[in-house]
Amino acid sequence: MRDGSRCEDRSRSLHAPEHAVGHGRPLVTASRPLGGTSDRSAWGPGLLESIWRFLWLVVALAVVGAVLGYWAVGRQPDRYRATSRLHLAAQPRSGLFGESTKTDPERRLLDQTERITSKPVLERAAEILPGRASGSALADSVSANVATDLDVITVHASDRSPTRAAAIANAVVEAYEEHTVFARVATAQTAIEKLNEYRGSLEAKLAETDAQMEERRRVAEAAVVAEQGAIESGSRLRAVDQRLRLDRRYRDLEVTRNATFTQLTAMQNRADQLAVDAAAAASDVELVETASAPKTPVGADAERGALVGGALGLLAGAAVAWTRAERRQRMAPAGGADAILAVPCLGEVPEDRSLRGSADRVKPWSPAAEAFNFVVAALTPALAKPGRKTWLVTSPRAGDGKTTTTLNLAIAAQKRGHRVMVIDADLRSRGLTLLSGGADHGGLTEVAAGHVPVARCTVKLDGSRNGSSPLVVPTGALPDDPAVFFGSDGFGRALARIEDEVDVVLIDAPSLLVVADARAIAEQVTGTIVVTTPDMPTEALETTAQVLRWTSTPVLGYVRNRGPRRRGSIPTPPEVRTGRRGSRRSQRRLPRARRARAAWGS
């Protein structure tokens, strides 16, 4: 355990009146509100601060990414790049009906560039190429760019073989020309079909108009015969024409017929022109510079690979740094938890790798054992006060070592002459119950129900020396709702019976932020001890302080568990170091490493 300098004025804080044990007393007073989150650090460090804090990690990942990018690009096989150029007409060829079509040159070239790398063109190019190929495979090796000032489209094709690279470029150009011609022919055929449909409707309209005109002529001829009788055919025709010229309806029909016939003639001419255009369709390519097999391979852009790899490594490093900085937003090494919990540090227990399981006793004369002696010494003012001494031992999270802390605090207090009894109130993990083996006549729940007395439920832990083993009250049968049980009058009466038997009662409770059991127990005790760890997040500490703020029980302090191990040795008797009594000369002959390991309790 570290010395008292790592804790913030323990003795002064414990003697302060606000830490007095007893119900109804206010919690600690401090300049910072308990559980407050006004400090900006509670939100974690920013991105730039995280990068600066782990700058070495960010730089290392960026360098590794750059090296991997350079290596990955350098490992690629040599590829050859063939180039073919298409010289397009300044303006597209005549439109469907002989009109000239004017478009934006830049937009037109961009559209043609996209058409060259389109799926239909690449699939047709794959059919032209010898051997097996697919349009999706060509998409990765074919590219096209445009020079708007020259009306030139450049097609690039890359492959491991120089001959195949040239063949791919030429096949793509050929497929593009075929696709352009096919598109124009298809457009012309579609237009011809639409014109034929329209021409059919015009022919039907013309036939209907002719029938109506013929009917008007018969009516006029019958009227002339009725008026003039039988006359020669020439005179009759003249009379009929003269009568029809005076017929307005006939004149409208004649105008409609002439307009319909004109439209029908124009449609026929247009259909004929479209058929000629379809037969003589051609692309807008005026000149093609075919690709030839390149002689030298295209060098891999290793610098670009290194740059991309370095950028990705930098992003990964920033993400890792931010994550680690956020996870390391822990309490300060000295005084951090004091400020958040607003209670003193009772002691710091170094990490003991010899402990096994969730509940175990530390080795005598070990640094951890001495640390628990420091904690009990810090609690001496509270132990000296008259009245009930029922203390709750809890932690913000599961696995912080509260059960081991409770057991070893009881052992240390027992060695100082205090009668101590430990209650296993963690009904879910039951660490102390499993360690002690349980009782034959029930446990805490049976005492609360009044079925058995306290003396029949207690179990004395075996293996302790000098009678320092404390009494343990097992959990007993599991109730339906543990939180309701710990808030009941039966649990309060059970505590009163247990308090009559001993001087100090330590309750091993579940984690404060995991289940509600510890909050219910806190209302039944006279003091609370919080167990923390060096890697405890600030948010967990602040939440713990906020929860404790709403209880009426004072917090005696906190124990920092699993602290770093310090170099040094604790003077121990020879029989403890070697397992047997020996002379001073024999002890001097012990290897230095063996004495160091024995001093650390390993």
CA 366/CA 353 separation, integer angstroms: 11
- pLDDT value at position 11? 36
Contact in structure between 421 and 505 (CB atoms under 8 Å): yes
Q: What are the structure tokens assigned to 189, written together?
A: 């055929």
CA 1/CA 511 separation, integer angstroms: 24
Of the candidates 282, 344, 324, 260, which has an alpha carbon nearest to the alpha carbon of residue 554?
344
CA 512/CA 533 separation, integer angstroms: 14
What's the longest Cα–Cα distance across the chain?
Answer: 169
What separation in angstroms does the CA of 591 have from each of 235, 594, 595, 601? 154, 5, 6, 16
Residue 142, classed as helix, strand or coil, is strand
CA 538/CA 163 separation, integer angstroms: 66
Residue 422, classed as helix, strand or coil, is strand
- pLDDT value at position 467? 52
CA 523/CA 531 separation, integer angstroms: 18
CA 307/CA 121 separation, integer angstroms: 34
Q: What is the DSSP string of 379-402?
A: THHHHHSSS--EEEEE-SSTTSSH
Q: Give all strands (DSSP E) within 46-129, no chain letters.
A: 80-88
Q: What are the structure tokens assigned to 541, written together?
A: 């500490």
Give the DSSP letter of residue 78. P
Contact in structure between 472 and 444 (CB atoms under 8 Å): no
Tell me the β-bridge partners of 159. 80
The amino acid that residue 546 corresponds to is: Q
Taking each helix axis from N to C end, the angle separating 233-245 and 162-228, rounded to the nearest 10 degrees, works out to 110
Give the DSSP letter of residue 505. E
Q: What is the DSSP string of 425-465?
A: --TTT-HHHHHHT--TT--HHHHHHTSS-STTT-EEPSS-S
The amino acid that residue 493 corresponds to is: R
Alpha helices in 129-247 (DSSP H): 135-139, 162-228, 233-245
- pLDDT value at position 47? 77
- pLDDT value at position 395? 93
pTM tops 0.75:
no
Backbone angles phi, psi at 529, to 5 degrees: -120, 125
Strands 142-147 vs 152-159: parallel, antiparallel or unpaired = antiparallel
Q: What are the structure tokens assigned to 320, written together?
A: 């890792």
Give the DSSP letter of residue 231. -
Class of residue 213 by CB neighbours under 10 A (exposed 0-12, middle 13-18, buried 19+): middle
The low-confidence residues of the chain, meaning pLDDT below 70, are 1-45, 90-103, 105, 132, 148-150, 227-236, 245-246, 277-283, 299-301, 327-335, 354-359, 439-441, 462-468, 566-602
Q: Give all strands (DSSP E) within 336-492, no chain letters.
A: 345-350, 390-394, 420-424, 459-460, 471-473
End-to-end CA distance of the chain: 15
Q: What is the DSSP string of 246-305?
A: T-HHHHHHHHHHHHHHHHHHHHHHHHHHHHHHHHT---SEEEEE-----SSPBPP-HHHH
Strands 80-88 vs 285-289: parallel, antiparallel or unpaired = antiparallel
CATH fourth-level superfamily of 4-39+330-566: P-loop containing nucleotide triphosphate hydrolases (3.40.50.300)
Instruction: Give the position of tokens 């009163």.
Output: 496
- pLDDT value at position 432? 87
